[in-house]
Chain A
Amino acid sequence: MTAGYVLLFTLVSLAVTILAHARLRAVLRKRTDSDLLEDLRELRLHYRSDGRSALQADFDRESASTGAEEIFLALVTAKGEIVASSDAAPWRGLTLALLVENSGAPGAGVFSSIAHPLSGEPVRSAFLTLDDGSVLCIFRSLDEENEWMEIFRGILLLALLGMLASGSLMGWLLAWRAMAGVARVTRLASGMGRDRLGERVAVGRDGQEIEDLAVAFNGMLVRIDSLVRNLGELTDDFAHDLRSPVTRLRGAAETTLMSDAGLHEYRELAAMVVEEADALIAMLNTMLEIAETESGRARIEVKPVTVSALLEETHELYRPAAEDSGISLVCNPGGEELVVRADRARLQRVLANLLDNAIKYTPRGGRIVLSAVREGERAAIAVTDTGAGISANDLPHVFERFYRADSSRSRSGSGLGLSLSRAIVTALGGEIRVSSRPGDGSVFTVYLHLSHETGT
């Protein structure tokens, strides 16, 4: 992987260097050309004001100072006859006539590159056509320009090598550190078995990304660890809760068979079998529902639901049963028409569960209130009872699967209801909370987001 990076980096650096080189060359060329044009313009001025002899003097001076091999200046007629020029000896063989043909309109500068007739070195030429059709020419060797290019090339090459070296080194270093960190995580992950879930990746100073990876990985390990442990506990609890009714069934059936039972006893036994079987099935289904709801596999239909209608329905359904238990059941749907986004059937289930618990734990003469109020952007649906209350020890655990406070251990019920309620409310994007004090009763509140549509 590192090799690939190095190759890529080299290619990119090369491309950048080549571009820089081309640009430099273009700039230098432009410079050269504008210098030449400038010179030509000055010469023209001089020629216009002071005539041919002055021009010739300029030519000679220029040739002398720059060097006759380096520069050649000339004034040529439209037909190609040389009217004036600097020292032409080093420039023998220059076919001016041909060159002058392409000299362009008066006033315009025309440039081209040719090879020196004797040395073959590159030469840049500039022509300026005068008003009378004659052409001022400069031929200058590109030695100077080339010298500069050489220097630039040297610098660029050094820079390139420097970039390549440091880039590769840094890249390699980065990769090595990254790989080392990743290698550590990989080693831990591959060596991880069910019994080693307690281990964690050492978080070092390998750089932010690797640290993040290690932290995320450890977080995942923590979750898996707790899941596995939960699963273990779950199956223990579940097994226990399965065994109890099955034990009862078996015991009752066996004793009936062994005794001299009459039709009536057998009828009783059969009825008991149906009841216990139903309870078991209900527990199984609830467990499945909890698992499905928590894992997101349940198909939850979220629609607008009118809270008051739901509360009144539930109230009406439970009223006779509450009365039979000597409990007063009151419904307080609140003044405002609250509509929440929820799965109606599942919300029914949650309310029923809360009411079931309230009725179970409230003694005769007690009171249960179903209410709903708006709290900001949420509806707070509460079931308040004047029952036995929940101790501070038990309070944080009430929503756990199979959790049963010691005081309720002997009572009927699977201990799954609240856990399913929580799973449902969470899946609906809401919250369920409890506040309670022993002897003072409890309040279970379900918070759900309000909807602005009309509900059912």
Chain B
Amino acid sequence: MEKSRLNPAPTMRILLVEDDKRTAAFVEKGLKQAGFTVEKAVDGEEGLYAALSADFDVIVADLMMPRMDGLTMIEEIRKRKVMIPVIILSARRSVDDRVRGLHAGGDDYLPKPFAFSELLARIQALMRRATNVSEPTKLHVGDLRMDLLSREVTREGRRLELQPLEFSLLEYLMRNPGRVVSKTMILEHVWDYNFDPATNVVEARISRLREKVDRPFSHPLIHTVRGVGYVLREKT
């Protein structure tokens, strides 16, 4: 994951509240690699203290922690009118748990285990929401351009004929330029499937897309990152 693509602005600060050392280590590593500044807290109390005493852009919080659990911490933070967006990470994945988390004041809920790219995408989404970025009507990556209103896609000035599902997939990739999106993310956001079918439907669709978007042109834009997912970017 590259730094510059993601954070042209001053570095965003993330507070990571997680009691499991190993989890905290890999999340911190991934977030730092993505260009964020990360501060860690090992339980709800430390997390609450940090949230109130310093300025953060996003809080990533676990729920089951000693001394003070995640839900209580979030409630306490909100009680003091601190509105930093909070994304909850928890092994508890039932609908009830999600509802409780959001009710306590969380803004998003990502069940464990999670794809790191998904966490990243959601953090971005939260920050976008927080800064009220307006919806774009045109997307571009390199010389690939997509007009969301006219549904026209061109590359190097040439028009591409895409089928509806190919269009949606490309749109999703273009909305996450330079960010790796996992198969599950694609299934969920593009096709509204909350599971991964055994058949490689995503791979097959990506291959069709590549036929139209990459093959006829000088260089490919769609890349596979083995074990993680796909990314749309100009290879530097």
- Pair from one complex: yes
Enumerate chain A interface residues (CB-CB to B < 8 A).
267-268, 270-275, 277-278, 281-282, 285, 299, 316-318, 320-321, 323-324, 345, 348-349, 352-353, 355-356, 359-360, 412-413, 417
Known contacts A320-B201, A320-B205; is-contact A274 B228 (Cβ 8 Å): yes
- Min CB gap B21→A, angstroms: 19
Q: Establish whether residues B204 and A348, one from each chain, have CB atoms under 8 Å apart when the complex forms.
A: no
The answer to whether A318 and B199 touch (CB under 8 A), given A271-B226, A274-B227, A345-B194, is yes
Task: Let me know if A320 and B208 touch, CB within 8 A.
Answer: yes
Among residues of A, the one whose C-beta sits closest to the C-beta of B193 is A348
Q: Please provide the 10 A-B residue pairs with the shortest distance between their CB atoms, ordered closest to farther.
A: A271-B227, A320-B204, A321-B204, A274-B227, A356-B198, A271-B226, A352-B197, A356-B199, A321-B201, A321-B199
Interchain residue pairs with CB less than 8 A apart (30): A268-B226, A271-B228, A275-B227, A281-B113, A282-B195, A299-B95, A316-B164, A317-B191, A317-B193, A318-B201, A320-B204, A321-B200, A321-B201, A321-B203, A321-B204, A321-B205, A323-B204, A324-B204, A345-B192, A345-B193, A345-B194, A349-B195, A352-B193, A352-B195, A352-B197, A353-B198, A355-B199, A412-B198, A413-B198, A417-B198
Since A320-B208, A324-B207, A353-B198 are in contact, a sample of 16 more A-B pairs with Cβ atoms closer than 8 Å, ordered by chain A residue number, is A272-B227, A281-B113, A282-B195, A299-B95, A320-B201, A320-B205, A321-B203, A345-B192, A345-B193, A345-B194, A352-B195, A352-B197, A355-B199, A356-B199, A413-B198, A417-B198
- One digit per residue, 1 when the CB lies within 8 angstroms of any chain A CB and 0 when it does not, for chain B 80-122 equals 0000000000000001000000000000000001000000000
When chains A and B are docked, how far (Å) is the Cα of A10 from the Cα of B205? 85
List chain A residues, Cβ under 8 A from B194.
Answer: 345
A270 to B116 alpha-carbon distance, docked (Å): 14
**Shortest Cβ distance from B85 into chain A, in angstroms?**
26
Cβ < 8 Å to A, chain B residues 161-204: 164-165, 191-201, 203-204
Shortest A286–chain B CB gap in Å is 8
Q: Contacts of A270 on B, CB cut-off 8 Å?
A: 227
CA separation between A53 and B144, bound complex, in Å? 142
Shortest CB-to-CB span from A183 to chain B, Å, is 43
In chain B, what residue has the closest Cβ to A297? B94
CB of A347 to closest CB in B, whole Å: 12
Tally of B interface residues using CB under 8 Å: 23
Interface residues of B in 137-160 (CB under 8 A from A): none
Q: Which residues of B contact A (CB under 8 A)?
A: 95, 113, 164-165, 191-201, 203-205, 207-208, 226-228
B residues within 8 A CB of A323?
Answer: 204
Residues of chain B within 8 A (CB-CB) of A277 are: 113
Q: How far is the CB of B228 from chain A (nearest CB, A)?
A: 7
A-B pairs with beta carbons under 8 A, tally: 63
Q: Which residues of A have CB within 8 Å of B227?
A: 270-275
Residue contact B196 to A282, C-beta cutoff 8 Å: yes
What is the bound-complex CA distance between A320 and B95, given in angstroms?
A: 33
In the complex, A352 Cα to B193 Cα: how many Å? 10
* Chain A residue with Cβ nearest B165: A316
Closest to A360 in B: B198
Q: How far is the CA of A360 from the CA of B200 in the complex (A)?
A: 11
Q: How far is the CA of A278 from the CA of B204 in the complex (A)?
A: 19
Q: What is the CA–CA distance of A412 and B198 in the complex, to the nearest angstrom?
A: 9
Q: Which A residues lie within 8 Å of B193 (CB)?
A: 317, 345, 348, 352
Question: Chain A's nearest CB lies how many Å from the CB of B148?
Answer: 21
Q: How far is the CA of A417 from the CA of B199 in the complex (A)?
A: 12
Docked pose: A271 CA to B164 CA in angstroms: 31
Closest A residue to B225 by CB, please name it.
Answer: A271
Residues of A within 8 A of B95 (CB): 299
Q: Which residues of A contact B196 (CB under 8 A)?
A: 278, 282
Closest to B205 in A: A320
Residues in B whose Cβ lies below 8 Å from that of A349: 195
Q: Which residue of B lies closest to A359 (CB)?
A: B199
In angstroms, Cα B204 to Cα A318, docked, is: 9
Closest to A268 in B: B226
List residues of chain B with CB within 8 A of the CB of A317: 165, 191, 193, 201, 205
Nearest-CB residue, chain B, relative to A358:
B199
Tell me the smallest distance from the CB of B169 to a CB of chain A, in Å: 11
Q: Which residues of B lie under 8 Å from residue A272 when comparing CB positions?
A: 227
CB A74 to nearest CB in B, in angstroms, measures 96
Measured between beta carbons, the chain A residues less than 8 angstroms from B200 are: 321
Q: Which residue of A lies closest to B195 (CB)?
A: A349
Residues of B within 8 A of A274 (CB): 227-228
Minimum Cβ distance to chain A for residue B224 (Å): 10
The CA of A209 and the CA of B203, in the complex, are separated in Å by 63
Please indicate which of the listed interface residues B95, B165, B195, B200 has the most CB atoms of chain A within 10 Å of its own CB: B195
Residues of B within 8 A of A271 (CB): 226-228
Shortest A258–chain B CB gap in Å is 22
Minimal Cβ-Cβ distance residue in A for B200: A321
Q: Give chain B nearest CB distance to A181 CB in angstroms.
A: 43
Among A317, A353, A356, A360, the one with the most B-chain Cβ atoms within 10 Å of its Cβ is: A317
Closest to B96 in A: A299
Complex: how many Å from CA A277 to CA B226? 14
Q: Which residues of A contact B198 (CB under 8 A)?
A: 353, 356, 360, 412-413, 417
